[in-house]
Amino acid sequence: MYSIIKYILMLFLASLSLVSCKQKQGDKIKVGFSQAMTTDDWRKQMNSSIKIEASLQPEVELKISDANNNIEKQIDDIERFISNKVDVIIVSPIQSKPLTAVVEKSIKAGIPVLVVDRKIDGEKYTAYLGADNIEIGRIAGRYIVSHSKGSCKIIEITGAIGSSPAYERSLGFGQIIKENKRIKIENTIHGDWEGESVKEPLKAILLSNPNIEYIFAHNDRMALSAWETAKTVGLEKKIKFIGVDGLNTVNGGIELVKSGVLDGTILYPTGGNEALKLALKMYNKEPIAKNNILNTIVIDKNNAEIIENQMDKVDQQQAVIDSQQGAIKIQEKEYASQNNLVRLLSFFLVIILSLTIYSIYSTISISRKKKQLERINQTVIDQNNEIQEMAQIAQKSNEAKLNFFTGLSHEFKTPITLIMSYVESLIENEKIKGTTLVDEVKLIHKNSNRLLRLINQLLDFRKIEEQKFTLRTSNTKIYEFTNEVMTNFKGEAARRNIDFQLTCKNKNLELFIDRGLMDKVYFNLLSNAFKFTPDNGKITISIIENHDNTVKISFKDSGIGIPENELSNVFNPFFRASNNNKNSSGIGLHLSKEFVLLHHGTIELKSKQGSEFVITLLKGISHLQPSEMINKEENLDVTPNLISDNLDIETELNVVNVVSESEKHTLLVIEDNIDLVAFLKAKLSNEYVVHTSDGSDAIEKAMEIVPDIIICDINLVDKDGYEISKELKKDLRSSHIPIIILTAQSDKESTLKGLQSGVDQYLTKPFSLSILKQSISGLLFNREKLRYYYTNNIYRIEPESKFGNQEQSFITKMNDIIKLNVENPKFSVEDLADKLGVSRVQLYRKVKAIIGINISDHINNVKLEKAAELLKSNNMNISEIAYSLGFSSPNYFSTAFKNKFGISPKEYKSSN
């Protein structure tokens, strides 16, 4: 029978390994993409298109690394790809020359390299993909030549010096202009691809030479900036502006052409999806061309709307493909799950059959032993009763110790988080300068000592239980000793404005104490005092010499105190007062009492308007054994030299590109640990506008600022993180905000509870700063996809849709109210906010977050949709329709209508 069971188990393990092997089949193709920067819409569109293409290729694992326009970082990113042995590297160079060596290194390592957008020096790369920048310059030149009447003067605004697109576009443009002697490049401005670099030099040129007819900028951002500069001197209508990129985004080239800001723009395709396809061909060693050129065209008023519509349709089709891919993956998972389930059920059927046979055998065997068991049954019952009594005692002891280790581990995690995060910062930073390193090392040292003390308390507790402590006293000036320990807390006292004083009449008073043990007593008592004393409170240490050969050392604070009926339990191990809502191990005061007893002294507690611990020690050496005394020199330096709390921990080591305030997302950090709050604020302020809360006003602050994302702890002063998350997710004003839980509680139940309360991501301490940053950017990216859905389906959201229920209900309700009042000229944004039950500011932020436009523009869009319906089916004239929909004048109505539909109301009405 034993052999049968053994055979069944082997069969079970074999079937499991078969399922596991099937799941592991198919290694991923690793593609590393070194992006130059993501500060402009063109780069973002490139990243978006390559990500979408990767989502359609399940065998591809795409890793995008953003160099933030830092050439040294881009070189490091490519070096990292090489060391990680990716299969293909795609590079969008910042500059040509610096990247040549590292690209050649990749080729030598056997990793093919695809260079996109900009070229490197030399030809040692696998393939190039991008538009023909020389031809782009020629197209711009031909466009100006064909549209100019007679002679004309031109200003050329180039890209950054050293950039291959800037050089090539300028070369092609100059070739065409030189062929036409009647046209002259009057001035050349060297920009840096960003609009701000254009304004000052262009304004000076226009003021001195206003007869400029054309301005050719190497991208649409600089072209828009040139138009804005010309507008300041009143020349925006006289000069025609030509740009490059032709993006279908807000303030992109297509929109600027349609609005009349640009006379034309040359399409500069991103080629993101083509890049990934070409990379896969390189991986599969398929024959490819060395240079792969993307097609381009001129976009002007004649074709801007057609191209925009085509791009929109492509995006919509791509979204449909994504959804279909997701459905296929779900079906594959369901099939695999059901297949495995059938296998397991069949196997379990065999097991049940085998167990049935075994049970029959067992029944026969048991019946034979029944008589023998009856004889010893009474003995077993007696022993069982004793075991149950012992188990109850052991269970109580075990629960107490388990609570202790759980509480202590939670205290460890926040210091460990700070240590690991700052160490990570030091590792990643390659240009550590001067004193900025000192601040982070101080903070690491401080938290290391905090962690060391907690661990030492645990070890001390074990030693006390096993009675392994030996007193090692030395003659000590108690005033100086007390002052030394106080220095470790003066920084926190100054930061929290706590009145921290030491009083002693006899500063030369000497006592025989074990400096190491007494330091732990002092530290425990002061830590408790600072933990429970509010800001602007008072903590006093008093040393009083009595006439009975004793010295009293008093530690008095103005904190919350301890309930009178619990005073007798304070020094018990694992005790925690009923009014203590802070994490605590519960052994600090127990250890303090044991250490004082080792000194043959006493410690007592008084609790009136705060707490007062009084230690009484004997003077002299008559109460000590010779073995308990040592030379003073042996015990001088046992007090740790802790770094004070007064640290400027907001010092930032890494040099990063600061995002402008207008472009930053807002981030709310809900955390009551001051060090961790300061750390997160220092590390995230360059990318986000960071607001903070200790938890007491979290809901109110979230409703006030309506942030883009929230980071929240679990253990807080007032409400815990679960309650805060649940309230924010239930409230219509804040339901769209992504929430990241950041906590020390890593057990399954806590994680499940967090997800059930509506949080979007659950991270445990200690955490990786890079993972936290990626989580934030990932959630914001997902919200952008949600915004894209609503923007493209804003007038056809169906109630039965399962996508974004709460936001969908809000948009549907809002649209219904607007449509009911669309012909009411007095209907305002305030009226809409009142009907929705939110404030005007909250309505503005909510709508902006969901659909990406302000509420006034949205109402105008609904009115224009209604106007189109009236023009089709009503006999009202255009003026009557304009005034009935609340437009101030027919001219303004016609302008708004044409901006939306591309034709005037009169043309629209006649065409229908």
pLDDT band at 223 (very low <50, low <70, confident <90, very high): very high
pLDDT in tens, 229-268: 999 999 999 999 999 988 888 888 999 999 999 999 999 8
Q: Which of 481, 608, 635, 625 is nearest to 553 (CA)?
A: 481
Shared domain check, 739 and 871 = no
Round to whole Å and give the CA distance between 587 and 564: 20
DSSP 430: S
Tell me the pairing of strands 538-545 and 240-245: unpaired
More confident residue, 475 or 747: 475
Residue 460, in any domain of the structure: no
More confident residue, 20 or 115: 115
Q: Which of 204, 95, 208, 202 is nearest to 156 (CA)?
A: 202
Q: Which residues contact 670 (CB under 8 A, 6 or more apart)?
A: 692, 693, 694, 695, 698, 710, 711, 712, 713, 716, 721, 724
The alpha-helical segments, DSSP class H, found in 853-904 are 855-873, 878-884, 890-901
- Among 746, 770, 794, the domain boundary falls at 770
Place of tokens 């008589």: 371
- Region 824-828: what's the mean pLDDT? 77
Shared domain check, 684 and 812 = no
Here the tokens at position 540 are: 């006093």
The pLDDT of residue 647 is 36
The pLDDT of residue 550 is 92
The pLDDT of residue 900 is 77
Residue 901, in any domain of the structure: yes
pLDDT in tens, 567-585: 777 777 766 666 665 555 5
Whether 74 and 67 have beta carbons less than 8 Å apart is answered as yes
Shared domain check, 694 and 569 = no
Q: What is the CATH number of the domain that holds 565?
A: 3.30.565.10
145-167 as b/e, with b when 16 or more CB fall inside 10 Å?
Answer: beebeeebbbbbbbbbeebbbbb
Q: Which of 150, 226, 676 is nearest to 411 (CA)?
A: 676
Residue 104, in any domain of the structure: no
Shared domain check, 678 and 627 = no
Shared domain check, 621 and 514 = yes
Tell me the C-alpha to C-alpha distance, in Å, between residue 572 and each of 365, 462, 466, 587.
54, 15, 17, 8
Place of tokens 């659950």: 762
- Region 89-97: what's the mean pLDDT? 88
- Region 684-710: what's the mean pLDDT? 89
- Region 375-389: what's the mean pLDDT? 82
Q: pLDDT at residue 212 above 80?
A: yes
What burial class does residue 613 get, using C-beta atoms within 10 Å of its C-beta: 0-12 exposed, 13-18 middle, 19+ buried? buried
Residue 617, in any domain of the structure: yes
Shared domain check, 585 and 678 = no
Place of tokens 């100019």: 148
HEC readout, 54-68: HHCCCCEEEEEEECC
Round to whole Å and give the CA distance between 756 and 750: 10
Round to whole Å and give the CA distance between 118 and 270: 11
pTM, two decimals, is: 0.37
Residue 589, in any domain of the structure: yes
The alpha-helical segments, DSSP class H, found in 533-661 are 588-598
Round to whole Å and give the CA distance between 532 and 558: 8
Backbone angles phi, psi at 737, to 5 degrees: -80, 125
What burial class does residue 545 get, using C-beta atoms within 10 Å of its C-beta: 0-12 exposed, 13-18 middle, 19+ buried? middle
Shared domain check, 744 and 832 = no
- Region 286-314: what's the mean pLDDT? 87
The pLDDT of residue 769 is 80
pLDDT band at 845 (very low <50, low <70, confident <90, very high): confident
- Among 754, 770, 786, the domain boundary falls at 770
Here the tokens at position 655 are: 């040099």
User: Edge to edge, what strands does the sheet with 665-670 contain?
Assistant: 688-693, 665-670, 709-712, 739-743, 761-764
Tell me the C-alpha to C-alpha distance, in Å, between residue 97 and each of 106, 120, 275.
16, 6, 22
Tell me the pairing of strands 499-504 and 298-299: unpaired
For the ranges 242-246, 489-493, 627-631, the lowest mean pLDDT is seen at 627-631
Round to whole Å and give the CA distance between 222 and 192: 9
Backbone angles phi, psi at 85, to 5 degrees: 55, 50
Q: pLDDT at residue 217 above 90?
A: yes
Round to whole Å and give the CA distance between 912 and 893: 19
Shared domain check, 241 and 154 = yes
The pLDDT of residue 541 is 94
- Region 763-772: what's the mean pLDDT? 78
pLDDT band at 650 (very low <50, low <70, confident <90, very high): very low
Q: Which of 540-544, 734-738, 868-872 has the highest mean pLDDT?
A: 540-544
Q: pLDDT at residue 113 above 60?
A: yes
For the ranges 350-354, 599-603, 643-647, the lowest mean pLDDT is seen at 643-647
Shared domain check, 220 and 159 = yes
More confident residue, 838 or 255: 255
With a pLDDT cut of 70, the percent of the chain lying above it is: 81
Shared domain check, 825 and 726 = no
298-335 as b/e, with b when 16 or more CB fall inside 10 Å?
Answer: bbeeeebbebbeebeeebeebeeeeeeeeeeeeeeeee
Place of tokens 């992504």: 738
The pLDDT of residue 431 is 61
Shared domain check, 827 and 735 = no
Residues, the chain: 912
Tell me the C-alpha to C-alpha distance, in Å, between residue 743 and each of 187, 302, 526, 750, 766.
59, 57, 26, 10, 9
Residue 691, in any domain of the structure: yes
pLDDT band at 511 (very low <50, low <70, confident <90, very high): very high
Q: Which of 790, 847, 777, 788 is nearest to 817 (CA)?
A: 847
More confident residue, 652 or 343: 343
- Region 602-611: what's the mean pLDDT? 85
Round to whole Å and give the CA distance between 356 and 852: 66
Round to whole Å and give the CA distance between 590 and 571: 5
Q: pLDDT at residue 21 above 50?
A: no
Q: pLDDT at residue 867 above 70?
A: yes
pLDDT band at 654 (very low <50, low <70, confident <90, very high): very low
HEC readout, 664-693: CEEEEEECCCHHHHHHHHHHHCCCEEEEEE
Tell me the pairing of strands 665-670 and 709-712: parallel
Residue 97, in any domain of the structure: no
HEC readout, 574-597: CCCCCCCCCCCCCCHHHHHHHHHH
3-state secondary structure of 482: helix
Indicate the Cα dihedral angle 876, 878, 880, 882, nearest 10°: 130
Residue 780, in any domain of the structure: no
Tell me the C-alpha to C-alpha distance, in Å, between residue 277 and each of 42, 558, 602, 684.
19, 69, 79, 35
Q: Specify which residues 741 forms β-bridges with.
A: 712, 762
The pLDDT of residue 871 is 80
User: pLDDT averaged over the chain?
Assistant: 80
Round to whole Å and give the CA distance between 749 and 269: 49
With a pLDDT cut of 90, the percent of the chain lying above it is: 22
Residue 565 belongs to domain spanning: 471-635
Q: pLDDT at residue 27 above 50?
A: yes
The pLDDT of residue 356 is 87
The pLDDT of residue 241 is 95
Q: What is the CATH number of the domain that holds 686?
A: 3.40.50.2300
The pLDDT of residue 586 is 64
Q: pLDDT at residue 410 above 80?
A: no
Residue 671 C-alpha from the chain's centroid: 15
Shared domain check, 705 and 625 = no
The pLDDT of residue 554 is 93
Q: What is the CATH number of the domain that holds 833?
A: 1.10.10.60
Q: Specify which residues 66 forms β-bridges with.
A: 35
- Among 305, 326, 352, the domain boundary falls at 305
Round to whole Å and give the CA distance between 439 and 422: 10
pLDDT band at 386 (very low <50, low <70, confident <90, very high): confident
3-state secondary structure of 165: helix
For the ranges 321-325, 581-585, 678-682, 898-902, the lowest mean pLDDT is seen at 581-585
Q: pLDDT at residue 662 above 70?
A: no
DSSP 378: H
Here the tokens at position 248 are: 């279908």
**Total count of domains within the chain:** 4
